[in-house]
Structure 1
Amino acid sequence: MDASARRLGWYLTLGGLLAVIDTTVTVVALPKLVDDLDTNLTTIGWVTSGYALALVAVMPTAAWAIGRFGARRTYLTALLLFTAGSVLAGAAWSVGSLIAFRVLQGLGGGLLNPVGMAVALAAVPPGRRGRMMSLLGLPVLVGPLIGPVLGGLLLDHASWRWIFWINLPVGLLAVLLGRSVLPVADPRRPPVRLDVVGLLLLCPGLALAVYGLSVTGERGGVVTASVLLPLALGALLVVTFAWRAGRIRQPLLNLAVLRAPGMAGGAATVAFFAAGYFGSFLIIPAYVQVVRGDSATLAGVIGIPQALTTGLMLQVATRLVDHVSARRVVGLGIATAVAGTVARVLVLDADTSYPLLATLGAVIGLGMGATLMPTMTAASRSLPPDDLPSGSTLLTTVSHTSVAAGTALIAAALSWLADRLAPSLEGGGITAANRLDPASRLGLAPDLAQATRLALAVSAVLLALAWLTSRRLPAAVAGADEATTPAGPAASVSSAGGADRRPRPPSR
């Protein structure tokens, strides 16, 4: 990459980091928010859930917004919206106002990743996109490490309001820098009409589906009318959108990009891997705190090696797919993650060594670093510049929706297994086990460890399915002509979503 493309990559990493940190920073503040806002933990959970739902709901509009307003204007507007939501969240006077302002934050944050990815990929030729994606993947490493620590420090030494207000100086700095770093849009781009019907189908459909899945996970897989209705309605809206998108000229999300070489396999790999990998994140904290009765801090420390190896391998693997077959790199990465997860399943019992769990987590992290961002790089490589916004929007939407689905599935499995293996919990699942006194918990530790082990096996199955779909990624290495083809970042993304958004073969 040249200096300007590298500077652009580092800048876009800042925006991605803001969105990732804000997903994790509020977790440590929830008990404090319950006390200060005089509410309960179920209600305050919507401070996190509302933000996540808004992220997913707004992502499908990214491709249209780029085509209609240009990538630069869309990205800066999203930053301003996110920053404004942060300031208002810090000034919230009730739990209802806080949830509303968190949704506003999510509406801005949800555009940062897909728009940023479209800008970044358009700034470099296809054969050099791995290097750019290695920068965009940094928030995956830094965000989960910084978020909880930053939240804890601000809670201990200031107020919960500062976990939101800290975004003000960073957000304003990002807006100012963006005016000089982001490529200027081409004013001659063709106007793009908003697919209003598609908007009313897909965005609420995704939000309802994610909500239904989340509630299902919280209730241990128990499906009631209050869960089934939003889940079924969300699925119906999404299926209707997909059927309609293939029959109109300018759909909100251009699903025709899935016909490009590697895109369908890449999207399926992202879906299964994100569901299995991120869905398993609740297993080790539940094991440490519920089965073993140890602290949340210890659970976080065990996860540090995994985060570190993810970030280190990500820097290597995303560059490697510029020179080595992506199918080989991703296949090896998934196989490594599966091996580490299966090893955890085999060794997990009531008194497994914490250093051993951390070491196996580091192995899983190596697999993660060689999978998610390299898959997105390989999947998007065959897309022409005009289809990059649709491709990046599709991949990020699939990723975030799959995280919610995987978390719900594994949470439901964990709670259901805890009920079956420890009948004395009387249907309360893992939540009821967390309320037991130490002596009672110790007596149930072997059964609860068995539940966590089997729930973790669900993650291993999902990761194995990701390996199967990764076989559809391109086997060839990016050609030398692709590596030297000039890229025009301003022109590339400015015309996205124009009159003809059907995928075309890559230029040679």
Structure 2
Amino acid sequence: MTTANPSTTGTEAATTPRSPDQGPVREAAAPAQPAPAPVAFTGRIIVGLLGMLFASLMAILNEQVTAAAMADIQGAFLIGHDDGTWLTALFEAANVATMVFAPWFGITFTLKRFTIGAVLATMFFGLLCPFAPNLASLYVLRILQGISGGCLPPMLIIVALRYLPPKFKLYGLAGYAMTATFGPALGTPLAALWTEFVSWRMAFWQIIPLGVLCCIAIAQGLPADPVKLERFRTFNWIGFITGYPAFAMLVMGLLQGDRLDWFNSAFIGFMFCAGGLLLVVFLVNEWFQPVPFFKLQLLKRRNFTHGISTLLGTVILLVGVAAIPGQFLAQIHTYRPLQTTPLSMLLAMPLLITLPLTAALLNTRRADHRWVIAIGLSLMFATFAIGSFMTSEWIRDNFYLMQSLQIIAQPMVIMSILMGVTTGLPPTEGPFASAMFNTVKTFAAAIATGLIEGVGTAREHFHSSMLVDQLGNHALVASAGLDTSFALGQLAHRIHEQAVVLTSADLYRVMACIALALLLLVPVLPVRIYPPWSTTPPASN
């Protein structure tokens, strides 16, 4: 198996040796488009690739740090909780919807120009956010920043597939995996640093120095391809008009569902029904569209289908790993972001070592990515199984073992998914894979948030009711010298505390079930593949 050479044309890519899961070769419905001319892998290209890597990391940090510092941002703007939730929901809706279409525009305006423009826009809107004169203007700025930030992560996969030689492709994908694992883990520590010791404004401005370096590296490192404005003649208007609002509406429904009581709210019902209908129209259109944004025919490849479906569940698990301990410690022990920082740093820093090591393992012929992902998912299952036994006495130290397992588990799962999705993929199909992969990744994060909030609220209400019922079945006698109102207040606090503990344990059990379901997919769906540099499998296979 091999990845097509960057000089391959569209027709040649169709005849590239394919992995066993790809089935019979079929010509694309659209006319074959020539792939970009080959570019020598030089130090200059490495600089450009690093610029793309840090541009993607910048987008992730902008998203995660502002979310972690949202309480301080709301306080600075004198915004209530309900209004503040829209700052996150509108940003995420624009961010997810943009990732569907960013690869198409990146190819049209060239990866170099499009990425630099998106970085500059993200920096500009971030610079303006602290000076927003009112809530409406802040909403607009966050939407615009969500659009510009959503353009950045998809570019990294396209560039890695295009410019990296087969021997180094998995290491390039490890860089992408770093943005998906290391980046979110840095969100809480950086938010704590800015809000506790500098200023809440730095939650918006922190991206500016990194953005300047990104622009310089990309401008100096990547070659300047010609602009392809003629692609607008075949622009998929139906896909754009249906897809963009579909993903935006579904994300807003997921992020606002728990606060507005899900389908008891007419707004949430409309978001899901209208968004779901538009999504169906979008997917049907993409299947028959000669120049689609999503090339759904890629799902005929078993490893691609396995990678996308496992990615959906894995992102939910990653969000759970970060969110459940943070919420528990904040509600039970009133931890602020600064106090949960050691948990995040314990996970973030070792990933800089374990990610490239996992890439090196998968880059050998002996390693079977199915075993690697199975071991990673087993460790994730063990993490959540341990968490299901938590008690109210747990503090930060009790979570260190669980986080330590994630140092090994996350790279094994993410790198195996990336290898399964991209190995054997011609560079001409890179934009389609990038659009689908990044959209599923960010949309799954919204699903995870909705799932954790929805299940958490339902289970907390259930446990609170059960605890009150149990107390009602027993005679409760207050101490003679104890103030009744104080006793009732203490009792209510203890009930709430215990309900939070039981709810957190339930969430860990839900995550364990998801990990187990993903583990059961491994022996069924994916097939054996070999590293990108390996043109043929070993004779013994």
| Common fold by TM > 0.5 | yes
When residues 365 and 224 of structure 1 are mapped into structure 2, their CA distance, relative to the original with a 3 A threshold, is: farther
Matched, 1:349 2:402: no
Q: State whether residues 52 and 155 of structure 2, in contact with CA within 8 Å, keep that contact through their aligned partners in structure 1.
A: no
**Equivalent residue in structure 2 for 1:268, among 301, 304, 309:** 309
The Cα shift of 1:219 comes to 5.0
Tell me, in whole angstroms, the C-alpha distance in 1 between the residues paired with 2:467 and 2:272: 28
Letter paired with 1:56: V
Farther off after superposition, 167-176 or 237-246: 167-176
On the 8 A contact 1:141/1:307 being kept in 2, the answer is: yes
Equivalent-residue separation in structure 1 for 2:431 and 2:290 (angstroms): 16
Aligned to 2:371: 328
In structure 2, the CA distance between the partners of 1:297 and 1:169, relative to structure 1 (3 Å rule), is: closer
- Measured against aligned partners, the alpha-carbon deviations of 1:37-68 in whole angstroms (never above 9, x if no partner) come to 23212212222222221110101112311332
- 1:207, CA displacement in angstroms? 0.9
Aligned AA (1:39): I
Match of 1:376 in 2: 418
Superposition map of 1:465-480 within 5 A: 465-471=517-523, 472-478=525-531, 480=533
Using the TM superposition, name which of 452-461 and 313-322 deviates more. 313-322
SS in 2 for 1:473: coil
Partner of 2:514: 462
For residues 104 and 431 of structure 2, what CA distance do their matches in structure 1 show?
8
- Which of residues 326, 351, 354 is equivalent to 1:313? 354
Give the SS at the match of 1:371. helix
2:76 alignment counterpart: 36
Q: Is the 8 Å Cα contact of residues 282 and 411 (structure 1) preserved in structure 2?
A: no
Deviation at residue 441 of structure 1 after TM alignment: 2.4
Q: 1:281 is matched with which residue?
A: 322
* Equivalent residues in 2 for 1:45-84, closer than 5 Å: 45-84=85-124
Rounded to whole Å, the distance in 1 between the matches of 2:123 and 2:162 is 26
CA contact (8 A) 1:50 1:102 kept: yes
Partner of 2:53: 13
Q: Which amino acid aligns with 2:111?
A: A
Structure 1 position 396, deviation (Å): 0.7
TM-superposed deviation, 1:102: 1.5
Tell me if structure 1 keeps the 8 A contact 2:188–2:341.
Answer: no
Of 465-474 and 222-231, more deviation after overlay is shown by 465-474
- 1:340 matched to 2:383: yes
- Residue of 503, 513, 516 corresponding to 1:451: 503
More divergent stretch after superposition (213-222 vs 127-136): 213-222
Task: Confirm or deny: 8 A CA contact 1:82 1:105 kept in the other structure.
Answer: yes
Identify if the C-alpha distance between structure 1 residues 297 and 62 changes in structure 2 by more than 3 Å, giving closer, same or farther.
Answer: same
Give the Cα separation in 2 of the matches to 1:290 and 1:160: 22
Correspondence for 1:168 among 208, 212, 224: 208
Deviation per CA, 1:239-284, whole angstroms, max 9, x where unpaired?
1111111112112322222223521111111011112321453211
1:171 aligns to what SS in structure 2? helix
Deviations 1:352-392 (A, max 9, x none): 36423221122134211211243123211121110001101
Q: Which runs of 5+ in 2 are unaligned?
A: 1-40, 469-487, 537-541
Q: Report the TM-score, using the length of structure 2 for normalisation.
A: 0.80
The question of whether the paired residues in 2 share the 8 Å contact of 1:337 and 1:366 is answered with no
- AA aligned to 1:461 is C
Distance 2:142 2:44 in 1: 34
CA apart distance, 1:99:
1.9
1:193-251 Cα offsets, whole Å, 9 max, x none, are 22111011111101111111112234565643221210121111111111111112112
Match of 2:445 among 399, 403, 423: 403
Partner SS for 2:257: helix
Matched positions, count: 473
- The runs of 5 or more residues in structure 1 that have no matched partner are 427-435, 484-508
User: Which residue identity is paired with 1:476?
Assistant: I
| Structure 1 contact 312–369 (Cα < 8 Å) conserved | no
Structure 1 residues 474 and 11, CA, compared in 2 at 3 Å: closer, same or farther? farther
Distance in structure 1 (CA, Å) of the matches to 2:396 and 2:115: 43
C-alpha distance 101-188 of structure 1, shift in aligned 2 (>3 A): closer
Q: 2:402 aligns with which of 360, 372, 384?
A: 360
Correspondence 1:80-229 to 2 at 5 A: 80-156=120-196, 158-186=198-226, 191=231, 193-219=234-260, 223-229=264-270
Instruction: Give me the whole-angstrom Cα distance separating, in 2, the residues matched to 1:92 and 1:44.
Output: 14
Matched-pair contact (CA < 8 Å) for 2:65–2:203: yes
Instruction: Decide whether aligned partners of structure 1 residues 373 and 331 sit closer, same or farther in structure 2, where only a CA change above 3 A counts.
Output: same
2: CA distance, partners of 1:447 / 1:214: 23
Match of 1:490 in 2: none
Q: Per-residue deviation at 1:418?
A: 0.6
Q: Over the residues paired in the alignment, what is the CA RMSD in angstroms?
A: 2.7
Q: Deviations over 1:472-500 (max 9, x none)?
A: 334132265549xxxxxxxxxxxxxxxxx
Distance 1:109 1:194 in 2: 22
Q: How does 1:367-446 map to 2 (within 5 A)?
A: 367-423=409-465, 440-446=492-498
Q: Is the 8 A contact 2:100 2:439 kept in 1?
A: yes
Q: Which residue is 1:27 aligned to?
A: 67
Please report how far the alpha carbon of residue 155 of structure 1 lies from its aligned counterpart in structure 2 after TM superposition. 3.8
Inter-CA distance 480–226: structure 2 relative to 1 (3 Å threshold): closer
Query: Does the aligned pair in 2 maintain the 1:134–1:315 contact within 8 Å?
Result: yes
Q: Give the 3 Å change call, closer, same or farther, for CA 167–422 of structure 1 in structure 2.
A: same
Q: Please say if residues 414 and 452 of structure 1, whose CA atoms lie closer than 8 Å, have aligned partners that are also in contact.
A: yes
Counterparts in 2 of 1:340 and 1:330: CA distance versus 1, 3 Å: same
Q: Is the 8 A contact 1:205 1:237 kept in 2?
A: yes
Cα gap change, 1:156 to 1:277, in 2 (>3 Å): closer
The Cα shift of 1:333 comes to 1.0
Q: 1:221 to 1:355 in 2, by over 3 A?
A: farther
Quick one: distance in 2 between partners of 1:267 and 1:69?
Answer: 27
Change (3 A) 1:226 1:456: same
In the alignment, which residue of structure 1 is the partner of 2:22? none
8 Å Cα contact 2:376/2:412 also seen in 1: yes
TM-superposed deviation, 1:395: 0.4
Q: 1:173 to 1:299 in 2, by over 3 A?
A: closer
